[in-house]
Amino acid sequence: MPKNKLKKYGEINSFQNLFQYGFHDLEKNNFPLKGKWNQDFFKNKSPIVLELGCGKGEYTNGLAENNLDRNYIGVDIKGARLWRGAKISSEKELTNTAFIRTMIEFIDQFFVADEVSEIWIAFPDPQPKSVHEHKRLISPKFLTLYKKFLTTSGIIHLKTDNTDLYEYCLKVIKECNHEILLSTSDLYNSGIDDEVISVQTHYETSYLEQGKKINYLKFRLHD
């Protein structure tokens, strides 16, 4: 393993805002902050927002800087990516951020009912093959998972350059009788001017430079 990677893996354990829990860890013990994020970690009563598949934490940290009245938690399985997000967060002293290293399939093990107010999913793997539909982060399987910890008025945001994924998500939301609050297949020509466009990831900037249009969905889950 390269020295730089070894250094990252050694340093990742020193970050106070990064938590690593795998399936076997969760089987043995409940995650200690489950149901206690506001009380024991953030030390406030601000709403909690998740970014699923956060990569290097660009969106998590960017939103946290712009919205100090909310708490942001980035989730990813890649340690090297999370190292970058947690390091930048620590250097900027962002006390309203945290990161979890785990598979998103286990995300309900980290939160209790009504503990999360919003979910952001920015440029996820579109999983284009139909056989991998269950891996799409806005498939019925995952939406059922999110409902376990989202508030009744909780909101989910999706940004993607992949039109097929966008149309698939629209179909799923409608078929499951969830509520679409906002949708556009061309975000930057839609007139939307708020936190949706206030932060751009490296990938999003690259897509825009290539002339690609960005799709955006904002919706709420219903029973």
Residue 40 a catalytic site member: no
Which residue of the set 125, 193, 194, 223 is catalytic?
125
Q: What is the 3-state secondary structure (H, E, C) of the chain?
A: CCHHHHHHHHHHCCCCCEEECCHHHHHHCCCCCCCCHHHHHHCCCCCEEEEECCCCCHHHHHHHHHCCCCEEEEEECCHHHHHHHHHHHHHCCCCCEEEEECCHHHHHHHCCCCCEEEEEEECCCCCCCHHHHHHCCCCHHHHHHHHCCEEEEEEEEEEECCHHHHHHHHHHHHHCCCEEEEEECCHHHCCCCCHHHHCCCHHHHHHHHCCCCCEEEEEECCC
Q: Give the residue numbers marked as catalytic.
A: 125
